[in-house]
Chains A and B, each alone.
Chain A
Amino acid sequence: MNRATLTLLALLLLCALSLVAAQQRARKLFILMERAQLEEYQLNQDGLRLEYEQRNLSKSARVRDVARNQLHMIPIAPERTLYLKESK
């Protein structure tokens, strides 16, 4: 075996090993991506849940109830309202 053959063999081995290493790294990254995607999904779900909770707290029935019974507010009446026109 001459020197060139040996060099090529060494290169081949190196390539094979780096391929295995690259594949391993790709899989690890893929797992990380999967986790991140799952987290994104969960965060989206949490966002929707918070939006729903916020909506539940601000729904007309609750606002009216809190305004009347807790804050003792009374409905608007035109005679106590000052109407302003938007100046253009």
Chain B
Amino acid sequence: MRPVGFSTTPNLVLRLPMWRSRLMLFLLFFVFMLLLIRAFWIQGPGNAFYEAKAVRGTQRELELPASRGKILDRNGQVIATSLEAKSIIAYNDTVPDDLSAEKISKLASLLQISESELRRKLKEERKQVFLKRQVDPDVAQQIKKLEIPGIGLNNEYRRFYPEGEAMAHVVGFTNVEDRGQEGMELSREKDLAGHPGQRRVVVDRLGRVVEDVAIEQFPQNGKDLQLSIDSKIQYLAYNAVKSAVEQHHAKAGGAVVLDTQTGEILALANYPSYNPNDRRGLSGEQLRNRVLTDMFEPGSTIKPFTVSAALEKGAITPSTTMVIGSSYLVGKKPITDTHPMGTLTIAQVIQKSSNIGAAKIAMNYLSPEEMWNMYTAVGFGQAPKIGFPGAVAGTLHPYKNWVPSDQARVAFGYGLSGSLFQVARAYTIFARDGELVPLTIDRSPDFKPGVRVISAKTAQEMRQMLETVTQPGGTAVKAQADGYRVGGKTGTAHKLVGKAYGNRYLAYFAGIAPISAPRISVAVMIDEPTGGSYYGGDVAAPVFSAIVSETLRALNVLPDSTVKQAALEDSSPAETHTASAQAQHMALKR
């Protein structure tokens, strides 16, 4: 027998089948292939998911703030601006429950709220509660120094209005989200609003920004808006209206000042007003922009247009006479004047404001269509296109529907309605030798061509008649302005109470100045004066006078009336000069 070594014993020789090793080899190869494919997938097409995950960990989107545009007056003075403010936020899940009473009391006093209200807010279920918005940055800094966990600050803007009440109805205001709610803030929201941008940055593990990746959207600051309003004139118009309303215990008042050469609106004053910086407890009465949104029957302020239509037609001249009498019956109700008048010229009809005279001119010399065309041409019945929210069109019924009594009453301002703004605009035809000037509230100091409504001759004749209204014998001697010749027309209209005219009145005065070369058109309205006289000549005319003399001085317009020069080196103080002659004299001396 052949000896068999231990290591070579045939019993221990493994005889594995070949297929098993091949299977193993194949399986291993397959698994490695899978891993390889996966690796390629992750590196290649499937990469986006992991990349996004990595980006989420290291990159952040930050907002780039954009500020709201400023509103400036015609001289570049700021009338609305946005300043940085902070909102104070409580993250209620982080604010400790055992916050010391001292810190709560300090925080409450800085936020100007009661401790109990603060505690209530901190216990609210919501994760994030605004403790106060639009906090002054100094106060916010003091709050930050309290180092209360879970109390955070957020950046936002707050709108400030330096001119306060005087300019409130023009500029309007914004809400806490910095969006316009009233006035120019609302109507020009699109231009004024800023659009915040967005940037992507890399942050380190402590959340500090270490690198810019990209600015995804550039911030766009809102555009500044320059208005035609002059804050000085606006203030003095507001003040004059306010004092008149207080003096005559009236309900409200308003005034409009227009530049007849450029069509710019220089002032739009309303009283009562409100402080746009502090709008707590605002009432609708305060918010109403009466000069643009209130419709009223313009009363006698319409008479110059009735007379203009007849003059333009050539049916009358300023010296045509007519018998007025004590009453004039058209329809059922007789038309009367404040006192009976005998025979008047057309110029005197305007000077004395005769209702009968105006009605007779309409009935004897004009057709309803001619009257309607005149009122429409000067802007009644159409909303002024100045981009102001709520500007009304007023009502002017179609002339085909007029019965004779309508025609007679429309001639002296009843049966049609318009806003004070429309009246002021209509008077620009007398200032511009018959052209109606297009108006704008944006600063645009160039001369604007107008639309001709009446001839220059008629306009000049009307100017002379309007001046007589403010001279002795006229209805508005109190409209005279220091140093300037003025012309205009009073109006005293009964107010409609329900469907009937009650004992409530609206007092108006609309006019132009200086008469020698008109520069401004001013209309004033005082609503329901109760302290004594309610006539336009007594109540509204003094406001017109105050506004005109100060406005023309502010615009550097040379006086055109005779004034006494008190302090001249080579003439006696009592000597009388016309100011324009004086100016020429001074120019020659130089």
Contacts and interface: CB of A to CB of B under 8 A. Distances in A.
Contacts of A58: 77
A60 B166 contact: yes
Interface of A: 26-27, 30-31, 34, 41, 45, 48-49, 51-52, 55-56, 58-61, 64, 75-85, 87
Contact of A30 (B211, B482, B590): B211
Contact of A45 (B84, B235, B564, B584): B84
B590 A82 contact: no
A78 B582 CA distance: 11
B566 interface: yes
A83 B559 contact: yes
Contacts, number: 92
A34 B209 contact: yes
Contacts of A79: 483, 563-566
B212 interface: yes
Contact of B559 (A27, A48, A78): A78
Given A31-B210, A48-B84, A60-B236, 10 more contacts: A41-B65, A60-B166, A60-B234, A76-B553, A77-B483, A78-B483, A78-B563, A79-B564, A81-B579, A82-B565
Contact count band on B: 35 or more
Contacts of A80: 565-567
Nearest to B483: A78
Interface in B152-169: 160, 162-164, 166
Contact of A60 (B210, B235, B579): B235
Interface in B20-79: 65, 77-78
A41 B66 CA distance: 11
B78 A85 contact: no
B482 A78 contact: yes
A7 to B, nearest CB: 32
B71 to A, nearest CB: 12
Interface of A is mostly: helix
Interface of B: 65, 77-78, 81-84, 137, 160, 162-164, 166, 208-212, 231-232, 234-236, 482-483, 550, 553, 558-559, 563-568, 579-580, 582-584, 586-587, 590
26 contacts: A26-B211, A30-B209, A31-B209, A48-B83, A51-B81, A55-B78, A59-B162, A59-B231, A60-B163, A60-B232, A60-B234, A61-B164, A64-B235, A75-B550, A78-B482, A79-B563, A80-B566, A80-B567, A83-B579, A83-B580, A83-B583, A83-B586, A84-B586, A84-B587, A85-B583, A87-B590
Contacts of A60: 163, 166, 231-232, 234-236
